[in-house]
Amino acid sequence: MNGFLILLDVALLALSGYYLFWQSRIDFRASYSTFQLFMAVVLGFWFLTTGIANIWYIVFIAAFITLTVMSGSTGLTPTRLINVGIFARVVPYTKLVGVTLTPLTLPNGQSLVVGVFGISPRRYIRLTFRSDLQTLFNVLRPRVPEAIEIKIQQVQ
């Protein structure tokens, strides 16, 4: 059992390093997914009640909770889109099939843009940016390949 936990610990720590590398490259941030923080707290309390004192299990729990908290950070890097989640969250712009941007104005006057990034005919990534439409479009257009259309959708 310890051998399996050690292998799992190494894998989670390597994944943490990989995501930390890509998160450090984010230059246009999207909103943080607070659900991930909620899940980390729930998982933390649940794992604390197990009462297991094995050091490899404790390292596994710490790495898993850290990954859960890290997975809430999203945004755009110069070459990739960073998505919410623990797995399949670093997506190159070349894998996109379409982008739809929807600008919204909140009642308090703040501007938001909801970006829906298609990565296959039935798979989408939704990110919310606290930005205006023109700024986000100016950041995306040089990064996304010319063959991929960026649609602007207005809410009526």
Check whether residue 71 and residue 113 sit in a common domain: no
Is residue 28 one of the residues assigned to a domain? yes
Of the residues 80, 112, 143, which one is the last residue of a structural domain? Answer: 80
Check whether residue 72 and residue 117 sit in a common domain: no
Look at residue 80 and tell me whether its pLDDT is greater than 80. Answer: yes
Tell me, rounded to whole angstroms, the distance of Cα 118 from its chain centroid: 15
Identify the residue with better confidence: 150 or 54. Answer: 150
CB atoms within 10 A of CB 83: 20
Is residue 85 one of the residues assigned to a domain? no
Check whether residue 76 and residue 138 sit in a common domain: no
Check whether residue 23 and residue 74 sit in a common domain: yes
Structural domain span for residue 140: 91-152
Look at residue 45 and tell me whether its pLDDT is greater than 80. Answer: yes
Is residue 86 one of the residues assigned to a domain? no
Judged by DSSP in three states, 102 sits in: strand
Reported pTM = 0.82
**Domain tally, the chain:** 2
For the segment 96-113, the average pLDDT, to the nearest whole number, is: 91
For the segment 138-150, the average pLDDT, to the nearest whole number, is: 92
Check whether residue 38 and residue 64 sit in a common domain: yes
Check whether residue 6 and residue 75 sit in a common domain: yes
Check whether residue 9 and residue 73 sit in a common domain: yes
d(CA 148, CA 129): 20
Which long-range CB contacts under 8 A does 118-123 form with residues at least 24 apart?
119/91, 119/95, 121/97
Judged by DSSP in three states, 143 sits in: helix
Lowest mean pLDDT among 26-35, 85-94, 106-115: 85-94
